[in-house]
Structure 1
Amino acid sequence: MGKPDSPSLQHATADIEPGVSIHYVVAGSGPRTVVLLHGFPQTWRAWRHIIPRLANAGFRVIAPDYRGAGNSSKPLSGYDKRTMATDIYRLLYEHLKLSCPVAMVGHDIGLMVAYAFAQTYHEDVTHLVAVDAPLPGTAIFDQLSGNSRNWQFSFHKVRDLPELLESGREREYLQWFFNFRISNPAAITEADFRDYLTAYTAPGAMRAAFELYRSFDQDSKDNRDLLANKGKLRIPVLVAVGATSPTASPVRGMMEEVSTDPRVLPLPGAGHWIAEENPEGFAAGLIDFMGPHR
């Protein structure tokens, strides 16, 4: 499969609440909608290779910059994932006036938001795709967060110190962060990295990113309450994992804690940054998973 034709991308911003706006990208005009939620330290551009493939396959694709990232607002609070899920709900159903449920795809932090959305607004979600990410409130998350390999979970939660130490060193910090979990370094070019660096050197961007981690304790409580009150997700769930990612096996076990029958999509040649390292295989897996037979 060659490089897909690039559909036109429409950029817009939605006012979600006073002082908070969400930037988003839309492509395609199919009857089914897929929402793509990026992670840290990325923006909607993490999906740049996936969007045209999904749009050309007949989906309408919506890729927001979640609260605190990219061209979206960076307020002082609201980084618990239920609040961020509400942002996305308001974007979809109050601003864009969608009338049908959507498929949610979340990578890294984006999965945490997508899961909160699926549990809170379960009638508005047809499918959930978990892309190499931990989920607060699960036993697997507790194991991962206690592993020294995942030191950033603890470091980012410290108040003020991360901002102090990385200020003026964003390039070095973010470059290390990408390299630490990548299998194919050519997948994120210097130009790609510069786009992410520009986004995260904007005023307030790194503070907002650290607030995502500082909300994990609240996220854990919220997710446990959701699971206790609503039970496991019964919608189709896909777990996409890079073949070289050390979290591949735990992520599958994690989704078994919160959903009834997760399906696994292993992707060769990829580490953590699946949508960029193996976009062809990942997009094909998504299209198969969300196809008409589903």
Structure 2
Amino acid sequence: MHRTDAIATLKSGIRLEYVVAAPDDTKSVKETLPLARAGLRVVAPSYRGAGNSSADAQTGHDKFTLARDIYELLTTTLALDSFVVLYRARHWLDGRNGVCPGTSLYRKSTTDPEMILGRTFHFALHQSRGLGEILTEGKEDVYLKHFYERLSYNPTFLSHADLAYYFSTFRRAGKMAAGFEVYRSFEQDHREMLEVVKKQGKLPTSLPVLSTGGQESSFTKPLGEAMKELAENVTATGGIPHAGHWIAEENPHVFVEEVLGFLKKQQMVQSPSQDKSTLPPS
């Protein structure tokens, strides 16, 4: 199910689409419903360029700016004072089961011939300004379908309705370009992340990080090690079975179970037998 609950206009003028699923929401999509039933208020935003969010700028797709957008949405528009960030991207070609700028794994992905010619061939294509747009114009469906299938465990993991939604979204003016801009900012992201860690240190122990991915993805194990370069308290798992790059779509039930298990262990949510009225907002 794909729906737009609201559009927030940020101070910058950027418009962000977001969907909210509450514990009593029976219309949530398959990934948010179990989280909502666990007592969480789930906010699913589309970052700038994705979904129905603004896609009219070549700047602002670096990850610190995207994070500030989401932070403003959560703290100003929705007035939340505490929340858990669960990062994954549904509307573009990137899931978090991949390389993270600011780590040695990211640099390897841009220098190792085995990765450049295989698993991360798209980095060069997506980062070459204008080339991706020229090659995919009028062929968005072909390119996206190839990309989704290539990085999946089960190539048929998306329904015809899902594919139709994504195809129609990316045919709209500026959408493919916005997606490519996310990749074009990676080198900036890498430099900025390294500088932040150098000056401020890693994320402290008080901010626990879950690193997971699909068991069939070659990125999952090295990603867990790479995240330790950015955070002090990292829990790396063996990964989600029967899933490749697109873990939340390929195996949503196990993915949600793993996330909830981590949150309960960190005492960020309560067990189902406890009073859900005491749960923190998310």
> Structure 2 length normalisation: TM-score?
0.84
Matched residue, 1:222: 192
Q: CA deviation at 1:205?
A: 0.2
8 Å Cα contact 2:23/2:38 also seen in 1: no
Matched residue, 1:166: 136
Q: CA deviation at 1:98?
A: 1.1
Query: Partners of 1:156 and 1:78 in 2: how far apart?
Result: 16
1:132 matched to 2:97? The reply is yes
Is there any run of 5+ residues in structure 1 with no aligned partner, and where? Answer: 1-5, 31-46, 114-129
Partner deviation per Cα, 1:141-198 (whole Å, 9 max, x = no partner): 1112332221111111111111111000000000000000111233211111111111
Query: Partners of 1:22 and 1:292 in 2: how far apart?
Result: 32
Matched residue, 2:47: 66
8 Å Cα contact 1:49/1:279 also seen in 2: yes
Sequence identity of aligned pairs in percent? Answer: 35
1:22 matched to 2:16? The reply is yes
Aligned ranges 1:75-90 → 2 under 5 Å = 75-76=56-57, 77-90=59-72
> Structure 1 length normalisation: TM-score?
0.80
Structure with more strand by fraction: 1
Query: Partners of 1:169 and 1:74 in 2: how far apart?
Result: 19
Q: CA deviation at 1:49?
A: 1.6
Q: CA deviation at 1:292?
A: 6.6
Structure 1 runs of 4+ aligned residues shifted over 2 Å read: 107-110
From the CA coordinates, give the structure whose radius of gyration is larger: 2
User: Aligned partner of 1:188: which letter?
Assistant: L
Give the root-mean-square deviation of aligned CA atoms.
2.2
Query: Which is bigger in relative contact order (C-alpha 8 A, separation at least 6)?
Result: 2
With over 3 angstroms needed to count, the CA separation of the structure-2 counterparts of 1:108 and 1:28, relative to structure 1, is: closer
Matched residue, 1:208: 178
Query: Partners of 2:9 and 2:234 in 1: how far apart?
Result: 35
With over 3 angstroms needed to count, the CA separation of the structure-2 counterparts of 1:85 and 1:136, relative to structure 1, is: same
Q: CA deviation at 1:19?
A: 3.4
8 Å Cα contact 2:149/2:156 also seen in 1: no
User: Aligned partner of 1:74: which letter?
Assistant: A
Corresponding residue pairs, total:
252
**Match of 1:174, SS?**
helix
With over 3 angstroms needed to count, the CA separation of the structure-2 counterparts of 1:28 and 1:95, relative to structure 1, is: same
Query: Partners of 1:97 and 1:261 in 2: how far apart?
Result: 28
Is there any run of 5+ residues in structure 2 with no aligned partner, and where? Answer: 268-282
Query: Partners of 1:252 and 1:91 in 2: how far apart?
Result: 29
Aligned ranges 1:20-169 → 2 under 5 Å = 20-28=14-22, 48-76=29-57, 77-99=59-81, 101-107=82-88, 131-146=96-111, 147=115, 148-149=117-118, 150-169=120-139
